[in-house]
Amino acid sequence: MEKKIVYFTKDINAENLIKIYEKLGVELPGKVGVKLSTGEPGAKGYLKADLIEPFIKKLNGTILECSTAYPGKRNTVEDHMQAAKDHGFTAIAKVDIMDAEGEIKIPVKNGKHLKYDLIGKNIEKYDSIINLAHGKGHIAGGFGANLKNQSIGIASRNGKAYIHSCGQTTDPEECWKVKYEQVDFIESMAEAATAVSEYLQENKKPIIYITVANAISVDCDCDCNQGDPVINDIGIFASLDPVANDQAFIDAIWATNEKGTKEIEERIDSREGRHILEYAESLGLGSTNYELIEI
């Protein structure tokens, strides 16, 4: 099996974010959308505006997000835009809450759990997408990087409920009440991420994948009580393959030998987090077989 290329740099700064993007050698046409997490108010680990500002301005990109399914301060458009403003994002770029004007239904072709995916309607406005993830742990998924950013992240509020409930409901009020197996949730995320990839491909919208592995806590940026980092910053990963990029991030965590390494590993494996990689690969989304090229 051909190895997918994953580029990597240890030094996390604005210059290297641009440099690693350029290494991918992809021309992103038209209107560029940059999907990232704006971070729940109270969280600390979300990607900071000063780190990403030169990169986004270079591409004249628009920051993309969708409303959350859980009760918090980003589950309405008004509150979410306030959070984006408070975290410095509206000062560096336009911010588009993609499900502000509704959602579109896209097919899930080979899913065991999902029949479709619901994503923010405004994705239709963009010609190219950058999946710009922050690598960290996650209370439900074990970890969050490109695959989570493409599944839960691009899903509308109702779509998030559908993924979280493994296809049982699209109601954000009800999705937290239904019962499901943990592995089914992990697979539902992979199915949604694959559906988004296929939608973009069919509509000739190129996408690239970048993960910044800094401020690595066991909690996600969606947690208003996010804890402190448990291991040191690792670096920036970039690829045209989301599975390879997430696999490289996970392998880098397992290669650390720090006081908090067991803590982040336990969070990931207790949630069956690594299963998303092999299942996404089985769906044809990407490959776990990669070559890491340090720049």
pLDDT digits (tens, 9 = 90+) for 114-129: 999 999 999 999 999 9
What the block records as the tokens of 156 is: 């509308």
pLDDT digits (tens, 9 = 90+) for 51-105: 999 999 999 999 999 999 998 999 999 999 999 999 999 999 999 999 999 999 9
Asked if the model's pLDDT at residue 1 lies above 80, the reply is no
The candidate with the shortest Cα–Cα distance to 114, out of 187, 52, 64, is 187
Residues in the chain: 295
How many structural domains does the chain have? 1
The span from the CA of 262 to the CA of 89, in Å, is 33
Tell me the pTM: 0.98
The span from the CA of 211 to the CA of 36, in Å, is 10
Residue 255 near residue 247, CB atoms below 8 Å: no
CATH code: domain of residue 177 = 3.40.50
Helices (H) and strands (E) in the chain, counts: 9, 12
Phi, psi for 90 (deg, rounded to 5): -70, -20
- Region class of 268: left (phi > 0), else alpha (psi between -120 and 50), else beta: alpha
The span from the CA of 192 to the CA of 190, in Å, is 5
Q: DSSP 3-state helix, strand, coil percentages of the chain (rounded to 5)? A: 35, 20, 45
The span from the CA of 156 to the CA of 65, in Å, is 9
Asked if the model's pLDDT at residue 290 lies above 80, the reply is yes
- Enclosing domain of residue 69: 4-294
Tell me what pLDDT residue 35 has: 98
Helix/strand/coil for 145: coil
Percentage of the chain exceeding pLDDT 70: 100
pLDDT digits (tens, 9 = 90+) for 262-276: 999 999 999 999 999
The candidate with the shortest Cα–Cα distance to 279, out of 163, 197, 202, 193, is 193
Task: For the beta carbon of residue 269, count every other beta carbon within 10 angstroms.
Answer: 13
The greatest distance separating any two alpha carbons of the chain, rounded to the nearest whole angstrom, comes to: 47
Cα distances (Å, whole numbers) of residue 43 to 37, 225, 234: 11, 6, 20
Helix/strand/coil for 78: helix
The average confidence (pLDDT) of the chain is 97
Q: Residue ranges of the alpha helices (H) in the chain?
A: 14-23, 49-58, 77-86, 146-151, 157-164, 182-202, 242-254, 261-270, 275-282
Structural element, H or E, at residue 6: strand 4-9
Helix/strand/coil for 122: helix
Asked if the model's pLDDT at residue 2 lies above 90, the reply is no
Residue 250 near residue 236, CB atoms below 8 Å: no
Distance of CA 35 to the CA centre of its chain: 8
